[in-house]
Structure 1
């Protein structure tokens, strides 16, 4: 590389540039009438650099499925699934209660419903969180890798009484089945922005997602 190239400003990749342009375009759209209904899941917004949240329709569908599976008075754990948790907050008057296990400390505003969670330490949880104390776990591992899914699965197995609703890449199907005994659903989750990898939902019970 020449000296002139070394001294020049850093260049974004085409993918990063496209994501940045999409982000700015979305910010402009948020100022239009009706933007809140389209973009806002809850009071905490997506951090586009590190989080990819579900669209409103997917967040609602997954929240409703979690509530159906948990049953009246059931408990739902959302592991790295912030948009589902916020949608559950909107629906909280309809029966089940939810907790968010999340690295993003902005969610501490939810008080006892927030549990700081680092997937690298899958069982490093407060004493108040006991084994098998949730009727269903909704999980979306933050990275599309076997290592991340393996560690997140430790958390899921500890938390759930039985039911698991996992969202991750289609390429993780065999690993997800091996670790959690889940199968792929027909329902395909959609995000607020287009992702390069195909995402799917997986469950280990008779769900409404087929």
Structure 2
């Protein structure tokens, strides 16, 4: 059959566009394969069967997903594990890349303790992990009742740089925290540990929301795997070898 005039009017992709489309689908399929492998690891309870990676979880910028680079995530994880015991309970709120590094460190053999980890996260892709609890900052205390006031170490990275989101995330942290007092210098490892990572322009609000636990801006530089235009800061209620308080309020 001879081609019709309508066929002549059909748009044709250039060779370059076809190659780009092929690369896109190739990357998508590779990412799906990574995710399926990760899911299989999680279902096997991840007993030292390889290192977990955030590469399987593509960032969704519309959902304000910006993963830490490995160095930042590992530093945060190490501070959450410093001095931890089997009785320690660690909450990771909207910071899945820190959670992944916690899992990696605990499976590496470097740590003998086995603290309880819980990931509070909106993205249900992370439900492949048994520690996942679905969390929506718009409903800051809509969480399993048995988790209230039960965590002695918390890291939180509110998804949006708005007063509303930051305030609701703080309500969640307060609800989860086993105590709401500053660290005891004589018992640092046994005191409540809080780390909040968010934008520099949130500093005044963060120090107000968490003033009762003695939080301050630190000199630790939070880095993201794909960069971020907003200046990010790490706020904490304790100093350590990885950071000092940048100033006293």
Query: TM-score, with normalisation over the residues of structure 2?
Result: 0.64
Q: 1:118 aligns with which of 136, 149, 158?
A: 136
Judged with a 3 Å threshold, the aligned counterparts in structure 2 of structure 1 residues 185 and 157 are, in CA distance, closer, same or farther, namely same
**Are positions 1:52 and 2:63 aligned together?**
no
- Compared with structure 1, are the counterparts of its residues 44 and 134 closer, same or farther at alpha carbon in structure 2 (3 Å cutoff)? farther
Distance 1:189 1:127 in 2: 32
Correspondence list, 1:89-104, <5 A: 89-93=103-107, 94=111, 95=113, 96-104=115-123
Say if 2:139 is the partner of 1:142. Answer: no
Whole-Å separation in 2 of the counterparts to 1:68 and 1:135: 12
Q: Distance in 2 between matches of 1:150 and 1:64?
A: 27
> Which residue, 86, 93, 105 being the options, matches 1:79?
93
- In structure 2, runs of 5+ residues without a counterpart are 1-23, 32-51, 179-191, 245-249
Please name the residue that 1:197 is paired with: 230
- 1:200 aligned counterpart, secondary structure: strand
Q: 1:128 aligns with which of 146, 153, 157?
A: 146
Superposed CA deviations along residues 123-176 of structure 1, whole A, max 9, x for unmatched, are 0001231x2211111000000111100000000011123321000001111100
Alignment RMSD (CA, Å):
2.2
- Helix, strand or coil for the counterpart of 1:173? helix
Matched, 1:165 2:195: yes
Contact 1:82 1:100 in 2 (8 A): yes
Deviation at 1:102, TM superposition (A): 0.1
Task: Report how far residue 41 of structure 1 moved.
Answer: 2.9
- The structure with more strand, counted as a fraction of residues: 1
Tell which structure's C-alpha radius of gyration is larger: 2
TM-score, normalization: structure 1?
0.76
- Distance in 2 separating the partners of 1:75 and 1:42: 23
Kept in 2: contact 1:52–1:193 (CA 8 A): yes
Task: Note the C-alpha offset of 1:43.
Answer: 6.9
Q: How does 1:2-81 map to 2 (within 5 A)?
A: 41-42=53-54, 44-49=56-61, 50=63, 51-68=65-82, 71-73=84-86, 74-81=88-95
Displaced runs of 4 or more, over 4 A: none
Distance 1:179 1:124 in 2: 20
Cα distance between partner residues in 1 of 2:199 and 2:54? 25
